[in-house]
Each structure stands twice: as C-alpha cells, then as structure tokens.
Amino acid sequence: MAIVYLHIGSPKTATSTLQHVLASNHERLLKQSVLYPGDLRHGDAHHLLACDLVEKYQGSPMPDIWYGPCPRGQAWQSLLAEIERHKHNIHSVVISSEIFFAQSNNLAAILADITDYLQGHEIRVIAYLRRQDQLYSSFYNQDVKGIRQWPDSAYQFYETHQIFMQDYYTLLNSWGNALGKEQIIIRPFEAQQWMGGDIVRDFCNLVGVDPLGAKYRQNEDALGATQLYIKQCLNKVGYDKSRNDEVLAIIFKLCPEQSANDCVYVHPGLYRKYREQWLHANRCLEAEYLEGRSLFSQSIPLAKDLSIYKIDKSRAAGFAQSIFRVLDKGKYPDYRELFAKATLIMLAEQDLWQALQPEERAALLGWIGS
C-alpha cells in the first residue's frame, strides 16, 4: 500500500503554484514512483475530492467551475481506480486541495469518509500555515478584489467566512485526532524556514522526491486602500463575475495606487482580540505538534506596529472626477451605469459631494437606468 500525502493548504500559501508544478511534472513524478493523480483533476488540483464530501455532508452544491466535465460524486472512486492501476509502480500518492482546509461543518464525518476510502494506505497530512494576521489581510483583500466580490466589512468577513470558523489548532487537531497526531506535518509559510528558501523545494523534500526545478515567486498584487474601497462600492452594486477583470483594469487605470499588503482592516481593539486568539492557537500547536518549537519566526505584530486601513479621500475624489470625465466622453458604455451607481455610493459614504459639480452629479443620476 502507498503513503498518501494529503496537502490541504492552507489558502494563500502558494497552493496554486505547488499544484501547477506537480501537475506539470506528472510523468517525472511517476518515474520516482510518486503518483499525482490526473483522472479526477479539473485544472491542476484535486478539488473534486473535497467538493464531493462537502456536497455529501454539508448539503451545499459546489460551483460548476470545480467540476468542469467531471461527474459529481465520483471523485473518490476515480482516485482509487487510478491508484489501483499504478499500485505496482508507486510508493506514494500526492493529493492537493486547499478546499479541505476550509471545512469545519461535519468535519468528523468528512474525515471518517477519507479514512474509509484510503483504508490500508498510510495518510500523512501536509498543511502550510500563513501567519494569521497576514492570512486575514490577504484573504480579505483578495475576496473584495476577486470574483467573489465581497461587498461588506472586514469584520463581517472574518465572522462569517468558513475558513475562520475554527482556529488553526482546533482545525488541525480534528485531523490529528482522526488520523493520528504524528501524521500531521505542519510547515510555516515563511521563506526563511523552507529548504533552500523555496516552498517548491521544501514540499518536494516533504514527499520524498527530487527537486522539480520550479521556483515560487510571491505576487504582491493586493489592492491599495482606496482601490479596495472603490471595488467594494462596485461590489455593492453588483455585476457579472465574468467582467471582474475588466472592472479592475478600469480601477487600475484611473486610480493607480501602491498595494496595501498586511494591512489591519478592523479597529485596533478588535485586532488585539483576534491576536490573542491566534497566539493561543499557535502555542497549542507548538506544544502538541512541534515539540515546543516556534511555528513562526516572528510573532504576530501588535496593532501599533501595523498600518491601519484608511481611505485616501483626495484620491477617491480624484477617481470620481476621472471616472465622470471618461464616462461623459462615451468610454466604457457597458459599465456606465455600474460606475455611476458606485461613484454615488462613494460620494455619499465619504461625504465627497463637492468632488463633482451639481450638474455632474445630476448626470450620474441620469445614467442610472438609462
């Protein structure tokens, strides 16, 4: 029987990079007696394995985008069939999907199914963890920016998003109790702690394969503070997700701004509360899974040492003026109503009525529903 390495994320820890490298090196891995299953993949990852369990135990239909042409409810059978075909030539199987990490509802039943499906195989769970303040900041910015089009506050995001329903310790301890704590491999998302300073090489070392040659380069693609607010106003209006990239391009062109990385999006008092919870979870992980070693090389910073999210009102006013000018000239006709509504929201919420002349504000109103 094989060792099955189940890479569960977490999100925002180069999971897409690792999945792409593994999928691109399918044949090379097989030559090293390692299977990165291909039959059930849609794209580079094995999201279908998690999706089938979520649909079964949480009653939530998962997006069609994860499935593509693949049938629902057949992923685990497909996995076992592929393992069976290669059983005489492999000693390890690598499975990767960060969707596993986000699950908390009925997790015990999900884990019971995983152990049942993989009965006879040794299961080892790999979880890269990003420092919680960085995960929170990055994930919130991404969900406002991306096709999820999050329209509400960072507080609402934290309190309602499933990935924050359980802390790192509670979540990973559920996996540890189900599979054995010695089977949980926890790695920090910190380059200074990776083998050779590269997460791809670090991951290859964990699963016992030769380095695959690829290098991870972190993208600093977070929205700036004012860009984020403008996008949030657009999200409140709502528009087709397929147009998200085009909307972002307009924002970038008319409101260039430096990325707001690792920013505190909530009140400092609330951040302090979260910080204490995060530190407690990390101490528990260190004691029970890391033999007392520190998880992160640097502790979670105090609120006073981080930048606080703040909208630049002069920049926002400049965007309102710029978007009015281009819309008035007939540019972006398909987006005129969307941006008119979002600009009026921005002017009202930020008390920026004087950024536009009365006749210009009237024109924005006239473009709505026209």
For residue range 197-210, list pLDDT tens digits in order. Answer: 999 999 999 999 99
Q: Select the more confidently predicted residue: 265 or 213.
A: 265
The answer on 244 and 195 residing in a single domain is no
The answer on 131 and 231 residing in a single domain is no
Q: pLDDT of 341-355, one tens digit each? A: 999 999 999 999 999
The answer on 186 and 245 residing in a single domain is no
The answer on 119 and 26 residing in a single domain is yes
Q: What does the pLDDT read at residue 220?
A: 60
pTM of the model: 0.90
CATH number, domain containing residue 150: 3.40.50
- For residue 42, being part of any structural domain is answered with yes
Q: pLDDT of 99-132, one tens digit each? A: 999 898 899 999 999 999 999 999 999 999 999 9
User: Domains in the chain: how many in total?
Assistant: 2
Distances (CA, A) of 310 to 193, 250, 267: 33, 21, 11
- For residue 79, being part of any structural domain is answered with yes
Q: pLDDT of 282-304, one tens digit each? A: 999 999 999 999 999 999 999 88
Domain that holds residue 247: 225-258+312-367
The answer on 229 and 193 residing in a single domain is no
* Model confidence band, residue 219 (pLDDT cutoffs 50, 70, 90): low
Assign 3 to helix, strand or coil.
strand
- For residue 288, being part of any structural domain is answered with no
The answer on 229 and 202 residing in a single domain is no
The C-alpha atoms of residue 99 and residue 49 are separated, in whole angstroms, by 9
Q: What does the pLDDT read at residue 370?
A: 67
The answer on 322 and 195 residing in a single domain is no
The answer on 253 and 136 residing in a single domain is no
The answer on 15 and 125 residing in a single domain is yes
Q: What's the average model confidence in pLDDT over 13-17?
A: 93
- For residue 302, being part of any structural domain is answered with no
Q: What does the pLDDT read at residue 67?
A: 84
The answer on 238 and 167 residing in a single domain is no
The answer on 252 and 194 residing in a single domain is no
The pLDDT mean for the chain works out to 93
Q: What does the pLDDT read at residue 300?
A: 95
Burial annotation 207-218 (CB, 10 A radius, 16+ → b, else e) = bebeebebebee
The answer on 7 and 152 residing in a single domain is yes
Q: What is the sign of the dihedral through the CA atoms of 186, 190, 193 and 198?
A: positive
Q: What's the average model confidence in pLDDT over 129-145?
A: 94
